[in-house]
Structure 1
Amino acid sequence: MQLETERLKIVSFKPELFVPLYQLFCENQTVMQSAFKGRVLSQKEFLDVLANDFILDENAQIGFVCILDKTTGNFIGFTGLIPCNFLGDEDDLEFGFVLHQNHWGKGFATEIGQFWIDFAENELQLDRILAAASPDNHASIKAIKKLGLTEVKEISTEDRGSRLVFSKEFKK
């Protein structure tokens, strides 16, 4: 998968992205405290996520992908669409993004979110798209609301702890 927004490239995993991904997942407490399990991952946990959740096949559409700066090619973070059952529907997909803190506050989260909203509505022709954020992650919540998603409920998950769930319905 290789897609792009105005400023970003969205690409499937490539071996040269292993080190920056590993550093983000396993060494960056600042970023990971509000993502995934609320902590950095062990090497085994990271390898499991990489093997099971990242898109490794150019034709796949569901899973995590890497975000690169279109101009410099620098690694910014990761994003993707993943299956979720937050609202009781097995067909729901959640979009998310985890950005290195050097790229916070630059509008990338909103740009990525709008990309996934458009992709879900126009390419996948879904009825709705979901997003979830830690109640403490005010920046992500602000970006999600800016994208027009509405808070539906708060849930507690075994893997990710407490999450606010947001939804955007598409008109057919």
Structure 2
Amino acid sequence: MQEIETARLYLRQFTPNDLEDLYRFYSDSEVMNYVSEGVRNREETAADLFLIIADWEKHAFGLWAVVNKENNQLIGDGGLRFLGKTPEVEVGYVLAKAYWGKGLASEVAAASLKYGFEALKLKKIVAVANTENRSSRRVMEKVGMRYQHNLEDTERVYYSISRKIYQSKVV
């Protein structure tokens, strides 16, 4: 089972036992405001959890359960996944409201980029956010990603970073 430890977080693979904790923040309208699927009910959360677990089995990467080291509580998800039905891999993160504004999303994103470039040897990682989601855009920029363009016919922006640029910033 793939796990990563950061300064304040454990990133581990999800298990079926995480359903209630995942539902706690997937059902929060403020947390899910900018997430394309929006608020999830319990059945939708269970289906999402099944897909997250299946992604790890199929691709050797996916979204991690983000666990706060301080209290060992699951506080969000984050990691790598395919961007829709494209071959591009995106970094994403969703945190419970109580953990906003503490730099934890940046910690998740940075660990995800490191895993993607160093363990998976990806050539590029992208990120997409709602145009108005300044916090998410700030996270992308903080971890070295750069704005590329707006997605056609949407209110979403597209950021990316190449392995070459990532490596030049890490060294």
Distance across 2 between alignment mates of 1:156 and 1:4: 37
The letter of the residue matching 2:162 is E
The letter of the residue matching 1:30 is E
* Structure 1 contact 55–64 (Cα < 8 Å) conserved: no
Of the candidates 99, 113, 116, which is equivalent to residue 109 of structure 2?
A: 113
Distance across 1 between alignment mates of 2:4 and 2:79: 12
* Structure 2 contact 19–46 (Cα < 8 Å) conserved: no
Specify the alignment match of 1:144 in structure 2: 140
Distance 1:57 1:132, change over 3 A: closer
> Secondary structure at 1:75's aligned position in 2?
strand
Distance across 1 between alignment mates of 2:91 and 2:19: 22
TM superposition score normalised by structure 2: 0.84
Shift of 1:152: 1.2
> Secondary structure at 1:29's aligned position in 2?
coil
Specify the alignment match of 1:45 in structure 2: 44
Shift of 1:127: 1.0
Distance across 1 between alignment mates of 2:15 and 2:84: 29
Specify the alignment match of 2:23 in structure 1: 22
Q: Could you list the runs of 4 or more consecutive aligned residues of structure 1 that deviate by over 4 angstroms after TM superposition? A: 55-60
1:71-150 aligned at under 5 Å gives the runs 71-84=70-83, 90=87, 92-150=88-146
Shift of 1:60: 5.9
* Structure 1 contact 54–65 (Cα < 8 Å) conserved: no
TM superposition score normalised by structure 1: 0.84
Distance 1:85 1:66, change over 3 A: closer
Q: Output the aligned Cα RMSD.
A: 2.4
Specify the alignment match of 1:170 in structure 2: 163
* Structure 2 contact 56–62 (Cα < 8 Å) conserved: no
Distance across 2 between alignment mates of 1:147 and 1:57: 24
Distance 1:57 1:127, change over 3 A: closer
Specify the alignment match of 2:66 in structure 1: 67
Over the matched positions of the two proteins, sequence identity in percent amounts to 26
The count of aligned residue pairs is: 164
Specify the alignment match of 1:3 in structure 2: 4
Shift of 1:59: 9.2
Q: Which has the higher helix share?
A: 2
Shift of 1:57: 5.9
Distance across 1 between alignment mates of 2:47 and 2:84: 21
